[in-house]
Amino acid sequence: MSLSDDSSIAARVTAVEKEYTARLNRTFVVFAVIEGALLAIAVVLVYVLKLIDPDSGRLVLVGIALLGGLALSMVLMRHMRARSRAVAQARGENPLF
């Protein structure tokens, strides 16, 4: 009997773990692409096109990085909570803990 055909608790937990690992990988890739694009656009606006004063531009770059870090932290916390609920549900535990 293969693991994918097994309907045991361990197989369900493994399936949930795989699904959430894939979701987390996609989240990191999408986040990195968006954050990188925003930072690249800001660098071009500040240092190449000189539309923003470089002293203020540094603050813009730091602000983008801080907001990105905050957003990533919130996404990761939400992902961890959803994963723990899904694993508990796969084990047959009360998901409302």
| Cβ contact 39:61 at 8 Å | yes
Q: Is residue 3 part of a domain?
A: no
Count CB atoms within 10 A of the CB of residue 46. 20
Whole-structure pTM value: 0.79
Q: Is residue 61 part of a domain?
A: yes
pLDDT of 5 higher than 90: no
Q: Is residue 2 part of a domain?
A: no
Q: Is residue 1 part of a domain?
A: no
Q: Is residue 26 part of a domain?
A: yes
- Report the domain count for the chain: 1
Q: Is residue 97 part of a domain?
A: no
Confidence of residue 97 (pLDDT cuts 50, 70, 90): low
Residue ranges making up the domain that contains 79: 9-91
C-alpha to C-alpha distance for 15 and 25, rounded to whole angstroms: 15
Summarised one tens digit per residue, pLDDT across range 31-85 is 999 999 999 999 999 999 999 999 999 999 999 999 999 999 999 999 999 999 9
Q: Is residue 82 part of a domain?
A: yes
pLDDT of 96 higher than 70: no
Q: Is residue 96 part of a domain?
A: no
